[in-house]
Structure 1
């Protein structure tokens, strides 16, 4: 009996000693990757750690996965050694920015609001033609279902074809008059029907037009004549008609 008590006391003493020592030994290496919008310190805070974290902290608090935090889709957390924390950040895909009063709402690929900023990222599309009366972070845009589905499908195709879009204009719920702005080229795609066919043609037509021309592409009905009306040739009154004819001929050749 005394032997068993002695063993138990030894185990308790060792555990207490380890607990005490682990509270004194600091984490010496913290590896964070994949975070473009949050600082390393912000990522650590979200994970529940600090730069002064100890081994004891990782024993008491040992998360392995954290999801849906602002720009972050998820964080994968591992502990390769006793004194090392590794955090891999997977960020949400940004669809674009929606104007709201004096700020812009950053929306992810599922039309959820992930941030509110004063100045939008110029490399991310703006989404126009929506009326937003209120919002909450990590909640979906408050828009009607038809418009939401049109927006999601359009963004899916933009991503699939890797199109350099500047503005997606849904024309204030008039989903019969959708347009896509690429900077120099604006494409009127009409309604949200036959989107895959329209975007398939759009990619090829933009490549044919080239980066130097400016104008409006009329792609409302992909089964009929597709017209590209140039806006960078004001000195030639017949240039527009010739360009329309050229685009119609090119589309007939492809068919």
Structure 2
């Protein structure tokens, strides 16, 4: 056996002994969990899952296993876990964003951009998008919403996503936007006292810009109907009762 080979073997043995020594040191046992970005997810729910990893060696902890367990929470979209040596586990929690709500019995179903149920609440928060016209068969937290017309749901999700990207609640002075889903070629929006006839959702982003240009020219709190067309024409018709 050559001298170089013996040196390599000795070096590997030293590394192995060092690793064994490090893994047995209490100095590297997890003492703290640093959890960030929580808004609606309860910290106690996160801690309950993390408790079993308390005092385990931070270098040997399976972060993929922790991530999978935390992702079982239907309100969590993603998690980033990093080790802060010697003994702190850092978790960046990314919660699912509510794209819209659907009235169901005496509650509201909150769904994400993919149509999965995040939670079911009794109250209607301000600055939210509400879907009307969908017939719900079943709603289970963590599962995709079961409706009679899935194409109509997908269309509603596209409209809501466009409204979010357009920053609708900053650009319009309203508490809620109701998306009326009559059929895939006939979508309407209710914004306070205005009814907006969108038609099909082709060129929806352009139609929202067109809506904004008309809205800015109208008196506040006026009642009536705005009809949008993809050809760049928008018309406003005031309610008859207001004219009288």
TM-score (norm 2): 0.73
Change (3 A) 1:232 1:100: same
Tell me by how many angstroms 1:161 deviates. 1.4
Return closer, same or farther for 1:82/1:225 CA change in 2, 3 Å cut-off.
closer
CA contact (8 A) 1:198 1:219 kept: no
**In structure 2, C-alpha distance between the alignment counterparts of 1:207 and 1:103, rounded to whole Å:** 34
Q: 2:89 maps to what in 1?
A: 85
Equivalent residue in structure 1 for 2:196, among 163, 168, 187? 187
Is it true that 1:167 corresponds to 2:177 in the alignment? Answer: yes
- Are the aligned partners of 1:22 and 1:54 in contact in 2 as well (CA < 8 Å)? no
Structure 1, unaligned runs of 5 or more: 1-7, 238-255
> 1:108: how far off?
0.4
Contact 1:26 1:52 in 2 (8 A): yes
CA distance in 1 between partners of 2:178 and 2:73 (Å): 26
Cα–Cα, structure 1 residues 90 and 17, in superposed 2: closer, same or farther, change >3 Å? closer
Match 2:101 to one of 94, 97, 100: 97
Partners of 1:106 and 1:130 lie apart in 2 by 14
Higher RCO (C-alpha 8 Å, min separation 6): 2
Higher normalized strand content (fraction of residues): 2
1:59-70 to structure 2, matched below 5 A, reads 59-63=60-64, 65-66=67-68, 67=71, 69-70=73-74
Q: How many residues align?
A: 221
Compared CA separation, residues 160 and 60, structure 1 to 2 (3 A): closer
The residue aligned with 2:223 is 215
Distance 1:122 1:81 in 2: 42
Following superposition, the deviation at residue 68 of structure 1 comes to: 6.1
After the TM superposition, which of the residue ranges 73-82 and 52-61 deviates more from structure 2?
52-61
Mapping for residues 26-175 of structure 1, pairs under 5 Å: 27=31, 29-45=32-48, 48-50=49-51, 53-56=54-57, 59-63=60-64, 65-66=67-68, 67=71, 69-143=73-147, 144-164=149-169, 166-171=176-181, 173-175=182-184
CA 1:88–1:18 in 2, change beyond 3 Å: closer, same or farther? closer
Deviates more, 1:159-168 or 1:52-61: 52-61
5+ long unaligned stretches in structure 2: 1-12
CA distance in 1, matches of 2:158, 2:53: 46
CA distance in 2, matches of 1:53, 1:181: 51
| Closer/same/farther in 2, CA of residues 86 and 148 from structure 1, 3 Å limit | same
Divergent runs of 4+, >4 A: 14-18
Over residues 168-218 of structure 1, what are the superposed CA-to-partner deviations in whole Å (9 max), with x where a residue is unaligned?
3334x43344221222433122333443332231122223336x2322332
SS at match of 2:146: coil
SS at match of 1:59: coil
TM-score relative to the length of structure 1: 0.70
